């Protein structure tokens, strides 16, 4: 029995010692984790799986005013990205490029490892290592004064593509070498970038072009190179340019049209019998000084413009067809005094195309039973002409026709938790199952009230909706009666008797959430809950900025808005937030090196002669990833407002440096500062295009304080230095200590910090500067003298190398001793067991 007790005690001691040995071995790095970790010791982040993809739109002519075509070279279809498991090497992601119906360049990105900068870089050629960033079109631009970079694959006649502007944030991007570092955001949403074009004013000029077609006048611009040896006073104009199909497409005009008169009366049901290129308009061109421009001619530049008139020939008349199928009336032409029939119009209409060359009317075979026909893949059903005239009637037709048609399918919007999806539904097939968004926990569906007078949604009130046969039939009748103008909106609620937060994007008849059918986003909430924002921000026309939602407060509950009267509309559980927007004309982008640190959006760009006029002209500010309005009012403690963003941007500071002045690309000082840090001079005066300003900085001064580090040596020596300045640390003659020798400097008095050799070269970065302590008003870096006894290695100031080797040795010796004891105990146990047996 005693033997068993002894054995039990021995085993208990053995287990305890083994438990002690494991953490010691772990702390001494004797056990190595074989699992895969990153530098922080955590499991590696593999990244989320890519979704269906994001559409990135590069708007090439966002305002639609320039008549100069944009050329696109072959773009890469593969982009290298880091491997998903963070291992060495790279994966190749396929990028699908295409042009949308507006002619914009689009990329479909299906992997979140693709960053904005990687996609931007794909628009530039990296083969010509030192090529100019200036792009070249048909006209050779002087690039002698430009910085070098990779040339763009997107080019435009006589213009320099300076950058791509994020339409949402206003941040500018151009080609950048990201082989070592890429700080741009990952692409995890749809994005739009606007091409920023800058005219080469040294060699070219923009001439206004006024185009009148059917009595409507529109204005455009065309770039021309100055005529040689004309002292920049003349250009050469060729009317042939304005007759090009690409130019006519931008202007929305054509001298030709679709004829309803068949060339062969015996083949009036053959599409080829109807000419699509009948010349029906005359073209007349002159300048504003009445110089006729029937062929290539030189004109003066000063106060001049080009005037073009398109006039319908007197031998032709229009035939107009309206229908729910067509967004606008379709205009075709007939020779005067030449009869045409309904069947002629029916077949001629099948030749008409939209701006992108797609046919607008593609019917199937006419149904013999009722004379109707399915059109455009069955999305519409055409039934008859005016007064129920059959589609293929041989009777003579009238000049103004209505093609009766009903939607065979229609669009609906599903809104769930601030997100939305537009779904196309066939008649008779609508159900809640068509919603592609997650509706787990759904309480019920709601719809905005129906405004009969405008056949649209009225977001001032909401009604419950049940997907019953009768409700769907009533809804589809409204869609049909509105000729498709009415788009039903279904809103998912996840609480009974909700309040409705309405975010209205419309401002000055402009604005939507990415689709013209979605001008409002509605989020049902509990009365005692806070209100989330929509998943997407509204979008507007060129040079319009969305600043936020007026009166919206993330901390407020829905019921807290009931007393609002000024900024928020509250009525019968409906809380309406209106979009706050502003417009601008030019950008002033501020740079720290090649990094954009902020933007001023300028209202007019004129009269910028002092800080007050500069501040007054600012419509909005982009700073630190946020957008602010005009910098008015005063700073309020505890709040960060536009005036604070203005101060922080114009007085932009980086670690260890303060702003000296802002220079333009010619290195001329545009904004300077007085010794007290206030703005001294503003030399911008008038800006006529977007400009860039580059920060010039002064290094901050700090003190290196040397401590004698003994009880009797309390005085300190000081060395005044600037950030990033290389200096030599003081030598051994700085202090004297009888019986001791100055060995080195250390950041800790016990010598366990960072050591520096006497007299060694030293500099302190801006990043290190921010961590310095303030001593008597000076940023101070303190070094302590580490002494060594003469004739001995003893060190009264402690361990000078900052390491703790003795501690590591102690761990090792202790562990070895424990292992020896364990071995002895194992032997003892074995002997005891042997004797027992």
DSSP 563-616: T--SSSEEETTEEEEEEEEEE-SEEEEEEETTEEEEEEEESS---B-SHHHHHH
Give the Cα separation of 131 and 201 in Å (integer).
21
Residue with tokens 């008003």: 777
Residue at token pair 């808005």: 561
At 477, list the tokens.
Answer: 């009748």
Whole-angstrom distance, CA of residue 399 vs CA of residue 265: 20
The residue that leads in pLDDT, 593 or 8, is: 593
pLDDT of residue 198: 94
Is residue 216 predicted with pLDDT exceeding 60?
yes
Give 789-793's long-range contacts (Cβ < 8 A, gap of 24+). 789/739, 789/740, 789/741, 790/739, 790/740, 790/741
pLDDT at 251 > cutoff 80: yes
Q: b or e along 694-719 (b: 16 or more beta carbons within 10 Å of the residue's beta carbon)?
A: bbebebbebbbbbbbbeeeeeebeeb
Mean pLDDT of all residues in 87-110: 88
Q: How far apart are CA 484 and CA 698, in angstroms?
A: 63
Confidence of residue 5 (pLDDT cuts 50, 70, 90): very low
Residues 611-630 have a mean pLDDT of 94
Residue with tokens 């040896």: 229
Two structure tokens written together for 796: 């009264």
Q: Would you put residue 371 in left (φ > 0), alpha (ψ -120 to 50) or beta?
A: left
Q: In this model, does residue 813 exceed pLDDT 90?
A: no
pLDDT at position 60:
93
**What pLDDT does residue 834 have?**
62
CB atoms under 10 Å from CB of 366, counted, come to 16
What pLDDT, on a 0 to 100 scale, did the predictor assign at position 820? 60
CB count within 10 Å of CB 578 equals: 18
Mean pLDDT of 3-18: 46
Tokens of 92: 């190749």
pLDDT band at 408, cuts 50/70/90? confident
Q: How far, in Å, CA of 157 to CA of 141, rounded?
A: 9
Alpha helices in 539-617 (DSSP H): 611-617
Nearest to 456 by CA among 484, 498, 417, 434: 484
CATH number for 701-789: choose from 1.10.3470, 1.10.1060, 1.10.760, 2.60.40: 2.60.40
- Mean pLDDT confidence for 678-698: 94
Question: Could you tell me how far CA 760 lies from the centroid of its own chain?
Answer: 48
First to last CA, the chain: 13
**Per-residue model confidence (pLDDT) at position 367:** 87
Q: What is the pLDDT of residues 517-540, one digit of tens each?
A: 999 999 999 999 999 999 999 999
For the chain, helix, strand, coil in percent to 5 are 15, 35, 45
Q: Is the dihedral of CA 445, 449, 455, 456 positive or negative?
A: negative
Flag whether pLDDT at 564 surpasses 90.
no
Other beta carbons less than 10 A from residue 37's beta carbon: 10
Which tens digit of pLDDT belongs to each residue from 318-370? 999 999 899 899 999 999 999 999 999 999 999 999 887 889 999 999 988 89
Please name which of 268, 278, 256 lies closest in space to residue 339, comparing C-alpha atoms.
Answer: 268
* Continuous segment of H or E residues that includes residue 298: strand 297-300
CA distance 159 to 357: 28
Question: Against a cut of 0.85, is the pTM above it?
Answer: no
Give 446-477 pLDDT, tens digit per residue.
Answer: 999 998 888 899 999 999 999 999 899 999 98
pLDDT in the model for residue 817: 62
Average pLDDT for 172-200: 91
The per-residue pLDDT of the chain, averaged, comes to 85
For Cα atoms 440, 446, 450, give the angle at the middle one, nearest 5 degrees: 155
Q: Where are the alpha helices (DSSP H) in 315-437?
A: 342-348
H-run or E-run covering 247: helix 245-251
User: Which is higher by pLDDT, 777 or 421?
Assistant: 421
Closest C-alpha to 324, from 366, 361, 355, 369:
361
pLDDT at 455: 83
pLDDT confidence of residue 807: 41
**Is the model's pLDDT at 14 over the cut of 70?**
no
Q: Within a 13 Å sphere around the CA of 608, how many CA atoms are in the beta-carbon half?
A: 21
> pLDDT grade, residue 372 (50/70/90)?
very high
Task: List pLDDT tens digits, range 795-811.
Answer: 545 433 334 444 444 44
Give which of 483, 503, 515 is closest to 546, Cα–Cα.
503
User: Which distant-in-sequence residues (6+ apart) come within 8 Å of 755 by Cβ?
Assistant: 744, 745, 746, 786, 800, 801, 802
Q: Tens of pLDDT along 266-305? A: 899 999 999 999 999 999 999 999 999 999 999 999 999 9
Mean pLDDT of 158-182: 89
Q: Which of 2-11, 29-38, 233-242, 459-468 has the lowest mean pLDDT?
A: 29-38
The helix-helix angle for 2-27 and 805-836 (nearest 10°) equals 160
């Amino acid at each position: 029995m005693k033997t068993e007790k002894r054995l039990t005690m021995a085993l208990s001691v053995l287990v305890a010692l083994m438990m002690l040995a494991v953490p010691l071995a772990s702390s001494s790095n004797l056990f190595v984790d074989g699992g895969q970790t990153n530098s922080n010791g955590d499991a590696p982040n593999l990244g989320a799986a890519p979704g269906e993809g994001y559409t990135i739109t590069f708007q090439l002519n966002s305002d639609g005013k320039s008549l100069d075509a944009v050329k696109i070279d072959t773009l890469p279809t593969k982009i290298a990205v880091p491997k998903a498991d963070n291992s060495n090497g790279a994966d190749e992601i396929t990028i699908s490029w295409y042009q949308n119906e507006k002619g914009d360049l689009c990329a479909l990105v299906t992997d979140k490892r693709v960053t904005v900068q990687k996609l931007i870089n794909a628009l530039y050629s990296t083969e010509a290592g030192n090529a100019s960033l200036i792009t070249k079109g048909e006209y050779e631009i002087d690039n002698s004064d430009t910085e070098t970079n990779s040339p763009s694959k997107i080019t435009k006649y006589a213009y320099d593509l300076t950058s791509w502007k994020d339409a949402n944030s206003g941040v500018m991007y151009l080609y950048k070498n990201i082989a070592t570092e890429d700080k741009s955001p990952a692409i995890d949403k749809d994005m739009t970038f606007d091409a920023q074009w800058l005219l080469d004013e040294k060699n070219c000029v923009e001439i206004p072009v006024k185009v009148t077609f059917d009595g409507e006048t529109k204005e455009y611009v065309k770039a021309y190179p100055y005529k040689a040896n004309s002292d920049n006073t003349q250009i050469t104009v060729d009317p042939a340019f304005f007759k090009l199909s690409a130019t006519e497409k931008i202007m929305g005009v054509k001298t030709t049209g679709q004829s309803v008169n068949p060339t062969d009366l015996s083949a009036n049901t053959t599409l080829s019998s109807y000419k699509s290129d009948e010349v029906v308009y005359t073209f007349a061109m002159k300048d504003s000084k009445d110089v006729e421009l029937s062929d290539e001619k030189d004109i003066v530049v000063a106060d001049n413009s080009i005037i073009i008139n398109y006039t319908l020939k007197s031998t032709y008349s229009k035939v107009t067809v309206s229908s729910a199928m067509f967004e606008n009336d379709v205009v075709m032409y007939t020779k005067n005094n030449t009869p045409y029939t309904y069947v002629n119009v029916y077949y001629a209409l099948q030749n008409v195309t939209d701006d992108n060359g797609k046919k607008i009317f593609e019917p199937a075979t006419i149904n013999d039973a009722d004379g109707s026909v399915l059109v455009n893949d069955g999305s519409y059903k055409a039934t008859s002409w005016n007064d129920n005239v059959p589609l293929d009637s041989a009777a003579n037709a009238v000049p103004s026709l209505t093609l009766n048609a009903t939607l065979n399918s229609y669009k609906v919007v599903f809104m769930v938790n601030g997100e939305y999806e537009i779904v196309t539904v066939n008649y008779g097939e609508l159900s809640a199952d068509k919603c592609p968004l997650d509706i787990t926990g759904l309480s019920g569906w709601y719809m905005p009230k129906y405004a009969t007078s405008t056949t649209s949604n009225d977001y001032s009130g909401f009604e419950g909706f049940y997907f019953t046969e009768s409700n769907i039939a009533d809804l589809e009748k409204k869609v049909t009666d509105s000729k498709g103008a009415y788009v039903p909106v279904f809103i998912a609620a996840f609480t009974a008797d909700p309040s409705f937060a309405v975010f209205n994007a419309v401002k000055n008849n402009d604005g939507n959430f990415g689709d013209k059918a979605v001008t409002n986003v509605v989020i049902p909430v509990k009365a005692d809950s806070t209100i989330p924002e929509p998943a997407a921000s509204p979008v507007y026309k060129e040079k319009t900025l969305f600043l936020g939602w007026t009166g919206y407060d993330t901390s407020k509950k829905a019921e807290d808005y009931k007393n609002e009267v000024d900024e928020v509309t509250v009525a019968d559980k409906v809380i309406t937030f209106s979009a706050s927007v502003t417009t601008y004309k030019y950008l002033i982008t501020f740079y720290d090196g090649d990094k954009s640190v902020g933007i001023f959006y300028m209202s007019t760009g004129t009269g910028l002669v002092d800080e007050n006029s500069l501040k007054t002209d600012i419509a909005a500010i982009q700073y630190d990833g946020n957008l602010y309005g005009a910098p008015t009012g005063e700073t309020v403690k505890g709040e960060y407002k536009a005036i604070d963003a203005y101060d922080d941007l114009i007085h932009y500071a980086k670690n260890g440096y303060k702003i000296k002045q802002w220079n333009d690309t010619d290195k001329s000082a545009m904004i300077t500062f007085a010794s007290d840090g206030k703005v001294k001079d503003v030399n911008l005066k008038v800006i006529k295009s977007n400009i860039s300003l580059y920060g010039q900085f002064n290094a901050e001064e700090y003190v290196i304080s040397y401590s004698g580090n003994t009880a009797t040596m309390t005085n300190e020596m000081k060395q005044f230095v600037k950030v990033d300045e290389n200096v030599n640390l003081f030598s051994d003659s700085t202090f004297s200590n009888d019986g001791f020798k100055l060995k080195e400097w250390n950041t800790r008095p016990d010598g366990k910090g960072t050591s520096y050799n006497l007299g060694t070269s030293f500099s302190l970065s801006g990043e290190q500067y921010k961590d310095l302590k303030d001593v008597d008003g000076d940023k101070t870096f303190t070094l302590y003298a580490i002494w060594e006894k003469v004739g001995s290695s003893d060190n009264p100031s402690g361990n000078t190398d900052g390491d703790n080797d003795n501690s590591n040795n102690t761990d090792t010796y202790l562990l070895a001793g424990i292992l020896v004891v364990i071995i002895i105990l194992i032997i003892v146990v074995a002997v005891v067991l042997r004797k027992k047996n």
